[in-house]
Structure 1
Amino acid sequence: MATQRISRVFGAVNIGSFRISAIVAGINEVGDMVVLGSGHRASQGIKRGYVTDMAAATYAVRDAIDRAEKMADTAVQKVWIGCSGAGLASRIDQFDAEIGGRRIEQEDIDQLLISARDVIQPDGRMVLHAQPAQYRLDGAHGVGNPKGLHAERLGVDIHIMLAEGAPIRNLTEAVQNAHLEVEAVVGSPIAAGQACLSPEERDLGVALVEFGGEVTNVAIYEQGMLKDMMAIPMGSADITDAIASAFGIRRFQAERLKCVNGSAIANPTDHREMIPVNAPGEEGTGPIARHADDKNRIPRAELIGVITGQLGSLMEEINKALKTMRFTGQRGKQVVFTGGGAELVGLADYAQAAIGKPVRIGRVPHLSGLAEAHVKPGFSTLAGLVLYAAADPVDIRAMGRSHTRTVKLGGMGMVGRVHQALREYF
C-alpha cells in the first residue's frame, strides 16, 4: 500500500513541570491526522509551569523536539506551545450588534468579530486566545454559524484565555532559543479538552481536571465552550515528595514506588505485602527506608496511606474550585481527569467517592502513528495541541488586517473613504 502524501505538518511542544514532550504530525490527503514522530524527556528549568532556568529549559525543549524530529524524519520550524502555569485564567465576554432583521451574510459576521475586539480588557495580562465560541440571535444562544439566518440583533460570546505576560515571554524565549518559531501559546485546558472531551460532553457540561506534575487545572466546559477555570498549585510531584519524606528515601526511589506499586485504593492484603524500595539490580544502594525490613522493603499499606493522604488534600481543593465555579446541580454531572497524575491506579474510583460525581479518566484519542508510550493521559495535552492547530481556530485579534471596511456613503461618504484609506496606508 502506497504511503499517503502529507499536505500540512504541525509541530507542538508541551512544557510541563515533570516532562517536556514534543510531537510532529501532519494531515494526509484524505484529511486524517497522522503522527509522524513524538518524543519526551524529563523537564528541566521549569517549576509549577514557570521557567526558572532559561538555559536548562531551552536544552530540554531542543532535546524533546530533536527526538520527535528524528522519529518523524522531518524537521519543523514552527511549533505550538502548551502551557499549564503562568497564571492562566479564562472568561467569556459578549458583544452584540444591530442587524435590522435582514439576512446575515459573512461580512456581517466578520464585522461583528472585528468590532468585538474592543470588549477585550486584559487588565494588564496577556491574551492567549480570543475566539468566537458561539453566536446569539435575538437572545437565542448556541448558534454555531448564523450565516443565512435573519435576526434583529446578532451577538457573539468570545472566549478569552489570559496569562501573566512575563512567564509567557519566558516560555516563548526558551522555545525561540531552541531555534524554533512560536506559532502560538495554547492554554493546556484548551488542548486537553480538544483531545479528551467529546463535543457532546462539552455541550452538556463537564469538569476537566488536569492532574499535572506540579499544577492541577480545573476547567468547566458548558454549551460547547470553556466557561471558567482555576489553577491549584499542587500535583503528582507533591505525592512523590510526601513519599520521599515519609520513608526518608530519594525522590527517584519515591517516584518509582508511586508508579510501580502505588494505588489510590487500599486492599485488605496490603498489610501483608512488602515491596522493595530499590529497583531490581539496585539492591544495597541508597538509604534504608524508615519502617523497612532487613531487605529494605516497606508495607504496601503504608505507601498507599501516604498517597491517599496527599490525594485527600488535593480533592478538597478540587471540590472548593468546583463550588466556586458553581459546578453543581444539573450542571455538575461529569468529571474527567487527565494529565500524568491521572495514570495512578484506582484514581477514578477514589475521586468519584471524594467528589461525589461520576469520574472517568480522559485518554489520548486514537491517532495513527502515535507511539504506544504516548497513548496515556499524561500526553493528552500534547495530542490536543496538534488537533487544535489542525482545527485552525479563528482569533478575532488577527481579523481585519486585510479586511475591507464597509463605509456608509452619505453626503461626505467618498471623502470619508479616501481619508480612511490615507490613514490605513500612510
Structure 2
Amino acid sequence: MAGPRIARVFGAVNIGSFRISAIVAGVSETGEMIVLGSGHRQSQGIKHGYVTDMAAATYAVRDAIDRAEKMADTSVQKVWIGCSGAGLASRIQPFDAEIGGRRIEQEDLDHLLVAARDAIEPDGRMVLHAQPAQYRLDGAHGVADPKGLHCERLGVDVHVMLADGAPIRNLTEAVQSAHLEVEAVVASPIATGQACLSPEERDLGVALVEFGAEVTNVALWSGGMLRDMVAIQMGSADITDAVASAFGIRRFQAERLKCVNGSAIASPHDHREMIPVNAPGEEDTGPIARHADDKNRIPRAELIGVITGQLGVLMEEVNKALKHMQFNGQRGKQVVFTGGGAELVGLADYAQAALGRPVRIGRMPHLAGLPEAHVKPGFSTLAGLVLYAADDPVDIRAFARGRHRTVSLGGIGMVGRIFQALKEYF
C-alpha cells in the first residue's frame, strides 16, 4: 500500500558543537509531518556554536545531510539552519499606530508592519528574523487577528532575533560550500520551543534551558512569544572534561562514563559499586584511571560526585540568568530542560532541587518516521526546525516586497497553518 503523497519537502541542519544533525521531512496532503530521513555525525570545526575550521565544518555538514538524504531516498537543495551560538539576543519591539475608531482593514495591517519594520534598530548586528508575535487593540493584548475589529489605537509586538554578523556568515558559508542553499538561519531557542513547549506553556510563562555541549541557552517564553534569552558559555562537555581531569583519563573514556554510568542523583549503594573505565573489549585502551582498582574500575560514587559538582556550577549560572530575566515575576514557574545534556539520568530531580522550581525534560513531538535513536532531547532542535519551516513563518523585513499576508505566531494552530501553506503552494 502506497504511503501518503508528500506535498512539500523540507531540509534542516542543526549545527552544534557536539554533533551536526540533518533531517529531510515532508508535509503530506493531509497536513501530517512525516520524517523521510535523518542523520547525524560528530561535529567538526565548531566551537561554542562558532565556525573555527571552515573545511572541517563544511565536510561535517555535507556528511550529515548525505546520511539524511540517503535514508530519505531524495535530495534537498535548500535547508534551514539551527544556530545556538553567534551572540544570539532576543528583543520584543512594540509599535503602535492611530486608527481613529474605525474598522481595521488588511491595508492597515500592511502599513503597520511596514512601519514596524522600518523602526527596527539592530545596532550594527544582524537581524535573523523580525516576526509579528501578537497584536494589541487599545487595552486588549494578545490579539491573534485584528482584521475586522474596531479600535482607536492598533499595536503590534515584533519579535526581533539578533546575532553577530560574522559568525552567521561563517555558518551560512559552511553550508553553502556543502552545495546547499540556506533558506534561513533559525535561533535554536525558537526551533526548540516549537518542538518542546505546548502553546499553553508558552502563554503562561516557561523557561527553556537548552543544555548543549558547549553552550547552554536559557530562554524565557510568556504571552505566546520568546521574550528574552541568556547564553551561558558552558555545557555538558564541561562535565566530560571534569571527569577526564578528575580521573586522569581521555575524553572519550570520560564521555562514555558520563553517558553509561553517570547520574545527577546519588544513591546509598554508589560507594560499593565499581564501574569499568573502558567498554567491553577495550580494556587495554587508554591510561589507568586515578583511584582505580587493579581492573581499572572506579567507584560510581566518585563519578557522580564529579558530575554533580560541575552541575552545581551550571545551575548557579542558570539561576542568575533566570533572575536577570525576572522570571520570578512570571505566572508560570516551570523550567524545561532539553538538549543533549538533558539526557543525563536524574537531571530533572537535581535541577528541581537546585533551582527551587518545577522542572521537566522536554519531550520530542511525535513525528511519523522519526527513528527511535533521534527521539531524544538532543534532537529536539532538529525536529523543531522542520516544524518551524512548515509553519510558514512571516518575516516583516520581506513584507513590502510582495508578501501581503500576516500571521500571528501565537494565535493560529499548527495544522491550520500547514493547510494554509499547502493552499498557497499549489
Q: TM-score, normalised by structure 1?
A: 0.94
* Separation in structure 1 between the aligned mates of residue 357 and residue 401 of structure 2, nearest angstrom: 46
Report the Cα distance in structure 1 between the residues aligned to 2:36 and 2:47, rounded to whole angstroms.
Answer: 30
Instruction: State the Cα deviation string for residues 366-396 of structure 1 (Å, max 9, x = none).
Output: 0000010000000000000000000001100
Classify the secondary structure of the residue corresponding to 2:388. helix
- Please name the residue that 1:323 is paired with: 323
| Matched AA of 1:246 | A
Q: Does 1:156 align with 2:156?
A: yes
The change in CA–CA distance for 1:340 and 1:403 in structure 2 (over 3 A counts) is closer
Q: Tell me by how many angstroms 1:105 deviates.
A: 1.5
2-structure distance, mates of 1:119, 1:296: 63
113-122 or 15-24: bigger deviation: 113-122
The one-letter amino acid paired with 1:204 is L
One-letter code aligned to 1:174: A
Matches within 5 A, 1:12-411: 12-402=12-402
Task: Tell me the CA shift for residue 107 of structure 1.
Answer: 1.8
Offset from partner CA, 1:177-234 (integer Å, 9 cap, x none): 0000000000000000000000000000000000000000000000000000000000
What is residue 412 of structure 2 aligned with on the other side? none
Identity in percent: 86
Q: Which aligned segments of 4 or more residues in structure 1 are displaced greater than 2 angstroms?
A: 329-332
CA RMSD of aligned residues (A): 0.9
**Once the 2 structures are TM-superposed, how far is the Cα of residue 147 of structure 1 from its aligned partner?**
1.0
Find the residue that maps to 1:229 and give its secondary structure. Answer: strand
What is the number of residues matched between the two proteins? Answer: 404
Task: In structure 1, give the amino acid aligned to 2:234.
Answer: M
Q: Which whole-Å CA distance do the structure 2 matches of 1:374 and 1:279 have between them?
A: 23
Structure 1, unaligned runs of 5 or more: 405-426
Q: Distance in 2 between matches of 1:102 and 1:403?
A: 24
C-alpha distance in structure 1 between counterparts of 2:172 and 2:108, whole Å: 35
Between the aligned partners of 2:225 and 2:167, the Cα distance in structure 1 is 25
Compared with structure 1, are the counterparts of its residues 403 and 29 closer, same or farther at alpha carbon in structure 2 (3 Å cutoff)?
closer
Distance 2:102 2:80 in 1: 40
Unaligned runs of 5+ in 2: 405-426
The one-letter code matched in structure 2 to 1:163 is A
Q: Secondary structure at the match of 1:328?
A: helix
Q: Which residue of 2 aligns with 1:417?
A: none
Aligned equivalents of 1:46, 1:376: Cα separation in 2: 22
Q: 2-side partners of 1:108 and 1:285: how far apart?
A: 69
Instruction: Give the partner amino acid of 1:172.
Output: T
Distance 1:42 1:285 in 2: 21
Whichever of the two has the greater Rg, that structure is 1
Q: Distance in 1 between matches of 2:182 and 2:24?
A: 14
